[in-house]
Structures are given as structure tokens and as C-alpha cells.
Amino acid sequence: MPVLEVDALAKRFGGLEAVAELSFDVREGEIFAIIGPNGAGKTTTLNLLSGLLRPSAGRIRLNGREIQTLPSFERTHLGLGRAFQVVQPFPEMTVRENVQVGALFGSPGTSRAEGERRTDAALERTGLTALAGQPAEELTLLQEKRLEIARALATQPTVLMLDEVMAGLRPAEARQAVELVRDVGQSGVTVVFIEHVMPVVRDLADRVLVMDHGRFLAEGSYAGVTADLAVIEAYLGTPDEAGEEEEAP
């Protein structure tokens, strides 16, 4: 049963078709990867899903309910969580306060006690408990990424969207991040993630969607998709992918 259904989604910026005729389903409980070269429209797709952008055409359903016209906060209230690629903590707040925002406002009618409990749980889960009192602006990149995930988890999502959480991490750090995502997936949260680091995709994803030039290119298991000639073609000319095999966690 799909939790997230994307149907003929499109986004035009002037003459540029950033996303076009994009359709895919994400099933309940799976870890779903979106890959593709730079400029393929992956982040635009996440922005359309989380409501930062309004689609030019198409439908998005979350648990059967159409959400493409809803503002971001309502999508969050309905269980769609999001961690950003460019980490954007609230710098004036402590780590704990950052997570509290998601915990208190992620689902309407959360009591303060319940908010505190969710905050503690999200900090614990992401290994940030010891840093709770630290100002968010003093974190390292890995800690910031953990904070991104903690905040999103605190909103109690049924579907969690992660945008390149591994980018910029050292191999050892990336391994920790993979464990964290896997752990989140095992707790029953459906995960949709964008990733450039192919070994990460191989290790984590139940299914993979390949995008190119804003369009659907292929979908299936990691092995099936990478065997697809078209994918290899899409990746030609992106030499930075070559070295990343060694970063296998």
C-alpha cells in the first residue's frame, strides 16, 4: 500500500522544466532512494513534496489524501517530515530548543510534556543528548546533520525525507549516518532520501528512483537500476562519482 503517491508532477521555472511528468509511489515502511546527476530535479522534487514550492501540475497524495495545495506546516502535521541538504538549524537556539520546535509543532495539539518526551527521544536516537545545551551554531557538520534528522524525527513523521545527509561527511561519519537512517527505517518510518554516494544507496535503499533532466528515468532495485544502460549514460561526465566507491561504509 503506497503512503506517498506522486502523479504527473511538474514544476516549471520560466522556460526551464525542473520537474516534468514525474510519477512514482513509495510503499509503507520502505527506504526509497532518489538518485540522478546534478540538476536532475531531485531537490526540487523534495521541495514540491514538502510544500516549499507549488507544483505547476500534478498530484501528490500522502496516505491517500491530496496534499499538493497544502502549506508546509499542514503537510508536516499530516506526517511528512523533512531534513534539509543545506543544514539550516535555528542558530540562536540550543540543540535541544531546535528539536523542541519540531516536537512541539510537528503534530497539532501536542502537550508540552509530550513535546519534552519527543524531544528527549529524538535527541537520544540521534546521539545528541550530550550536546543538548550547546548553541546550534557551534556544532560540527556531522552534528548539524544529526540535528537536521533529530528535528525532522521530532515532528513524528510517517514519511521522512532526507536530502543528501551524507554530503560532506568523512567515510566514518557517513557510516554512522547510514546506521542512523537504517535504524529510523527499522522503527517503521518510511524513508525517502536523495543521495549521491552510490554505496550508501546500495546499502540502504529497498527501491531506487533514477531521475534525469527532471524526468523519470528508471525505477527498481539497486542492482536492477544500475544495470540499466540509461543510468550509466546519465552518470557519464560526472567524474566526481568515480572516487566514491572507496567510501563504501
Q: Which residue has the cell 503517491?
A: 5
Under rule CB under 8 A, residue 97 binds other proteins: yes
What sign does the dihedral 114-119-120-126 (CA atoms) show? positive
Backbone phi, psi, residue 248, to 5°? -55, 125
Candidates 4-12, 88-96, 169-177, 229-237; binding stretch for other proteins (CB under 8 A) = 88-96
Q: Which of 11, 118, 151, 207 binds other proteins (CB under 8 A)?
A: 151
**Which of 72-80, 178-186, 203-211, 232-240 is the region at the interface with other proteins (rule: CB under 8 A)?**
72-80
**Residue type at position 134:** Q
Q: Of these, 115, 185, 214, 249, which contacts other proteins (CB under 8 A)? A: 115
Please tell me the distance from the alpha carbon of residue 94 to that of residue 77, in angstroms, as a whole number.
23
Closest separation in Å from C-beta 51 to other proteins = 7
Angstrom distance (rounded) from CA 112 to CA 106? 12
From residue 223, how far is each of 83, 178, 201, 229, 234 by CA, in Å? Answer: 27, 19, 10, 12, 16
Nearest to 28 by CA among 49, 4, 64: 4
| CB distance 76 to 156 below 8 Å | no
Minimum distance, C-beta of residue 140 to other proteins, in the bound complex (Å): 12
Q: For residues 145 and 210, what is the distance between their CA atoms, to the nearest angstrom?
A: 24
Compute the least distance from the CB of residue 92 to other proteins, in Å. Answer: 6
Instruction: Identify the residue among 96, 118, 145, 207 touching other proteins (CB under 8 A).
Output: 96
77 binds other proteins (CB under 8 A): yes
For the record, the C-alpha cell of 8 comes out as 504527473
Residue 88 binds other proteins, judged by CB under 8 A: yes
> Which one of 52, 121, 167, 248 is in contact with other proteins (CB under 8 A)?
52
Residue 42 binds other proteins, judged by CB under 8 A:
no
Mark the segment that binds other proteins (CB under 8 A) among 13-21, 24-32, 97-105, 183-191. 97-105
Return the number of the residue (137 or 245) whose C-beta is nearest other proteins: 137
DSSP structural state of residue 51:
T
In the list 133, 188, 239, 243, the residue contacting other proteins (rule: CB under 8 A) is: 133
Residue 160's H or E segment, with its range, is strand 159-163
Q: According to the binding rule CB under 8 A, does residue 55 interact with other proteins?
A: no
71 binds other proteins (CB under 8 A): yes
Annotate 76-122 with DSSP letters as a single string.
Answer: HHTTEEEE-SS----TTSBHHHHHHHHHHHSSTT--HHHHHHHHHHH
Write out the residues near other proteins by the rule CB under 8 A.
50-52, 71-73, 76-77, 82, 84, 88, 90-94, 96-97, 100-102, 104-108, 112, 115, 129-134, 151, 155
